[in-house]
């Protein structure tokens, strides 16, 4: 059995790393830019943030369809990268004219639109290509996605540090430089892919992967329109759809990092360290740093448990991820209990939350990506990856709605389904209840879902 991974994996790793640098660099500044440069209120900023991130994850459904039906992975990735680079430079232009709302706003929305369209073509196809590097049934696929996921988080790690340093200076005029750096990062991603795709993106037999689909014909030479799904394929696809519903609860709480948790870091966290005030955007690097550190440890844990015949199945791992998420919010809810609006708490509460959320992410996200590839028929892989990301779309829109419940001093207490959010403790406990309930239900369903996967773990 081969143990070494193909070089194409590391090309996809680097391509995705710089694309994620671009996206997360922009995301680290986006809410702060709207509030501090464009002078939007937090409710409006949260609404726009939620709509943008929701559409970012909705677009891969169309991008996956275009790839599977017409363009193939390679062409979709190239076009997507060009659109995203153009979007980042439009964000730069919006920052350049931030003092003039009439000029800045069209560039803002134009940039967001290009980022959404580009991500739709890029994201499902870069993920789908990872699985194509390996023969069917290869046990290296799970570890390949762990390595690939580290690339995602390496980009996410350095993005807030570089883009935040350039853009989050306290001077609204500087946001544009953070967006400019994000655009340069996207160009790096594109250039790497163009230079090395033909050499390294091949299957085990040496044939290029990610090419436009070839029409299948029957014995008479007629085109076959659609191959019907078998019973096993239908059940496996049903597992993807069921798990996608639980992913919504995970990411809607996790993605508070870009909105409500950024506001919390900016306003109620003591960010002074050795005479230096840590920018609020820097806290978004805790999660990707933790992924890079702990991903190999989690892979080692799963391997050890597997050798003993005690490795949890994939739905069980994802339920554990939801449980870690709930515990993270429980910790910070304890830290802010009784705290007034003018009191700043230790940054260790926020650091602890991000660490626990990272553990949850490692139990859920790379496992989910790998499972989509393993459970999907080859002819539908990119489309199913798009459907998987569609759950992220719903989650991010929901995250923006939940962020609007963030309590503001002197404002009426917001409510959700009869639950009143009077203070930060109430706000964070909302996520404890939500993630905890989802974890309990998924634990109960895990054995049934395992049967529906028909031998795939």
* Domains of the chain (ranges, CATH numbers): 7-201+229-452 (1.20.1250.20)
Mean pLDDT of 398-413: 80
Q: Please compute the mean of the pLDDT values over residues 386-401 and round it to a whole number.
A: 83
Q: Containing H/E element for 416?
A: strand 415-416
The pLDDT of residue 266 is: 81
Which whole-number Å values give the CA distances from 175 to 12, 42, 97, 161, 395, in the listed order?
29, 18, 11, 13, 27
pLDDT in the model for residue 223: 59
Q: Which residue has the tokens 């403790």?
A: 425
Where is pLDDT greater, at 432 or 147? 432
Which residue has tokens 């503001």?
408
Answer for the pair 89, 183: CB distance below 8 angstroms, yes or no.
yes
Residue 94 pLDDT: 95
pLDDT digits (tens, 9 = 90+) for 149-201: 888 888 888 888 899 889 988 899 999 999 999 999 999 999 999 999 999 99
- What's the start-to-end Cα distance of the chain, in Å? 19
Asked if the model's pLDDT at residue 219 lies above 60, the reply is no
Q: What is the pLDDT of residues 299-329, one digit of tens each?
A: 778 777 777 878 788 899 999 999 999 999 9
Q: Has residue 217 got a pLDDT over 70?
A: no
**Measured between alpha carbons, how far is 17 from 19 in angstroms, rounded to an integer?**
6
Residue 346's H or E segment, with its range, is strand 345-346
**H-state helical runs in 379-419:** 381-403
**For residue 360, what pLDDT is reported?**
95
What is the pLDDT at residue 450? 92
Residue 280 tokens read as 């609020």
Q: Please state, in angstroms and rounded to a whole number, the distance separating the CA atoms of residues 369 and 421.
A: 35
What's the pLDDT score for residue 218?
54
Q: Could you tell me if residue 211 is left (phi over 0), alpha (psi between -120 and 50 degrees) or otherwise beta?
A: beta
Residues 6+ apart with CB under 8 A from 419: 426, 430
For residue range 355-389, list pLDDT tens digits in order.
999 999 999 998 898 889 889 887 888 888 888 88
In the predicted structure, residue 118 carries a pLDDT above the cut 90: yes
Higher-scoring residue by pLDDT: 392, 363: 363
**Per-residue pLDDT reduced to its tens digit, 328-361:** 999 989 888 877 777 888 888 888 999 999 999 9
pLDDT of residue 221: 57
Average pLDDT on 134-144 reads 76
* 408 — pLDDT class (breaks 50, 70, 90): confident
SS3 209: coil
pLDDT at position 308 = 80
pLDDT attached to residue 195:
95
| Lookup: tokens for 389 | 């990301």
Query: Residue 262 is encoded by which pair of tokens?
Result: 């950024």
Is the separation of the CB atoms in 151 and 17 below 8 Å? yes
Give the count of alpha carbons within 13 A of 421, CB side only.
20
pLDDT confidence tier of residue 239, bands split at 50, 70 and 90: very high
Q: Assign 33 a pLDDT band (cuts: 50, 70, 90).
A: very high
pLDDT tens-digit readout, 244-280: 999 999 999 998 876 788 888 888 788 888 888 888 8
Residues 79, 121 contacting (CB under 8 angstroms): yes
Say how far apart CA 250 and CA 257 lie, in whole Å. 12
Residue 128 pLDDT more than 50?
A: yes
Residue 220 pLDDT level (bands cut at 50, 70, 90): low
- pLDDT for position 382: 84
Which CA distances in Å does 248 have to 110, 134, 195, 392? 27, 29, 37, 6
The DSSP bridge pattern shows strands 269-270 and 345-346 to be parallel
Nearest to 317 by CA among 166, 145, 153: 145
Q: Return the H-helix or E-strand segment holding 420.
A: strand 419-420
pLDDT of residue 2 exceeding 60: no
Would you say the pTM of this structure is higher than 0.85? no
Specify the pLDDT at position 95.
Answer: 93
Nearest-5° angle of CA 283, CA 245, CA 79?
65
Query: Band of the pLDDT at 453, cuts 50, 70, 90?
Result: very high
Checking DSSP bridges between strand 272-273 and strand 276-277, what pairing results, if any? antiparallel
Lowest mean pLDDT among 113-117, 207-211, 238-242, 335-339: 335-339
Q: Is 441 helix (H, G, I), strand (E, B) or coil?
A: helix
What confidence category does residue 1 fall into, taking pLDDT thresholds of 50, 70 and 90? very low
Whether 126 has a pLDDT exceeding 70, the answer reads yes
Report d(CA 208, CA 199) in Å as an integer.
9
Mean pLDDT of 286-292: 85
Closest CA to 124 of 85, 69, 179: 69
Taking the C-alpha atoms of residue 439 and residue 296, their distance in angstroms, rounded to an integer, is: 24
Mean pLDDT in the chain? 87
For CA atoms 407, 408, 413, 414, the dihedral sign is: negative
- Model confidence at 89, pLDDT cuts 50, 70, 90, reads very high
DSSP run (H or E) holding 114: helix 101-132
Q: Which two tokens stand for residue 107?
A: 């560039």
pLDDT of residue 277: 82
Return the higher-pLDDT residue of 356 and 45: 356
């Amino acid at each position: 059995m081969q143990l070494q991974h193909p070089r194409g994996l590391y090309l996809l790793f680097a391509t995705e790393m710089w694309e994620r640098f671009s996206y997360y660099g922009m995301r680290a500044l986006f809410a702060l830019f709207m509030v501090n440069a464009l002078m939007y209120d937090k409710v409006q900023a949260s609404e726009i943030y939620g709509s943008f991130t929701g559409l970012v994850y909705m677009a891969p459904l169309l991008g996956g369809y275009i790839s599977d039906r017409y363009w193939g992975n390679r062409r979709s990735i190239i076009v997507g990268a060009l659109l995203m680079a153009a979007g980042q430079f439009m964000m730069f232009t919006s920052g350049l004219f931030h003092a003039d709302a009439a000029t800045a706003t069209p560039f803002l929305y134009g940039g967001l639109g290009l980022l959404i369209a580009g991500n739709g073509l890029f994201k499902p196809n870069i993920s789908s290509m990872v699985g194509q590097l390996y023969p069917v049934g290869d046990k290296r696929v799970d570890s390949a996605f762990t390595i690939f996921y580290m690339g995602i988080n390496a980009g996410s790690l350095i993005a807030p540090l570089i883009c935040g340093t350039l853009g989050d200076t306290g001077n609204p005029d500087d946001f544009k430089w953070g967006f400019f750096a994000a655009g340069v990062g996207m160009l790096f991603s594109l250039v790497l892919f163009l230079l090395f795709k033909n050499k390294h993106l091949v299957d085990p037999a040496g044939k290029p992967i990610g090419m436009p689909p070839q029409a299948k014909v029957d014995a008479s030479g007629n085109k076959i329109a659609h191959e019907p799904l078998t019973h096993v394929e239908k059940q496996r696809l049903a597992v993807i759809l069921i798990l996608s519903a639980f992913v919504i609860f995970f990411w809607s709480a996790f993605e508070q990092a870009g909105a409500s948790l950024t506001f919390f870091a900016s306003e109620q966290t003591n960010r002074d360290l050795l005479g230096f005030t840590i920018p609020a955007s820097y806290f978004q690097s805790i999660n990707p740093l933790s992924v890079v550190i702990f991903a190999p440890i989690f892979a080692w844990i799963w391997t050890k448990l597997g050798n003993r015949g005690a490795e949890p199945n994939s739905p069980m791992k994802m339920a554990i991820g939801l449980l870690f998420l709930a515990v993270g919010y429980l910790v910070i809810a304890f830290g802010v209990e009784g705290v007034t609006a003018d009191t700043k708490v230790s940054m260790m509460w926020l650091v602890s939350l991000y660490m626990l959320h990272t553990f949850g992410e490692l139990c859920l996200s790379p496992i989910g990506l790998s499972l989509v590839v393993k459970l999907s028929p080859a002819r539908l892989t990119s489309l199913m990856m798009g459907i998987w990301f569609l759950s992220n779309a719903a989650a991010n829109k929901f995250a923006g709605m939940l962020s609007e419940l963030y309590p503001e001093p002197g404002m009426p207490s917001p409510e959700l389904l009869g639950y009143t959010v009077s203070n930060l403790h109430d706000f964070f406990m909302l996520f404890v209840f939500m993630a905890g309930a989802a974890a309990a239900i998924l634990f109960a369903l895990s054995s049934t879902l395992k049967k529906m996967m028909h031998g795939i773990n």
